[in-house]
Amino acid sequence: MHLTDDTLQETIKTEKRPIFVDFYADWCGPCVAAAPIIDKLAKEFQDKMLITKLNVDENPRSAQQYGVMSIPTVLVFKNDGSEPKIVGKQIGFAGEAGYRSLIDEALQ
C-alpha cells in the first residue's frame, strides 16, 4: 500500500493495527534493495500490521513533518485510541532481520 501526504495522517489516526511506513525514493539503491523484503513482510503480517510505503520525492511534507533526513527510513506508528505515536524507527537499510525486529517490538 502506498501512502501520500494526504492519506498518511488519516491512516495513522484510523488504523487499529500498527502501521509500518517505509519512507523511500525510486532512485535510492538501499530503498530498492529493501522493497522485496518489505513486500514479503507485508504479505506475512497483513493481519497484524499495515505495512506501507511513502515516496519522499512525491510527498515531501510527510518526510519533513517526521524529520526524515535519510532514506530508507521506517517509522512504526501505533494508535492507542488517543493520539498515534511513533513506537519504532529504523534509519538505513536494516535487512529482513532488522525489519522483523521492528515489527516484533510493535506487536508486543
- Catalytic positions, written as ranges: 28, 31
DSSP code per residue over 46-101: TTT-EEEEEETTT-HHHHHHTT--SSSEEEEEE--SSS-EEEEEEES--HHHHHHH
Task: For residue 108, give Cα distances in angstroms to 16, 30, 83, 102.
Answer: 14, 28, 18, 10
Beta bridge partners of 22: 53, 74
Q: Which of 103, 8, 102, 96 is nearest to 55 (CA)?
A: 8
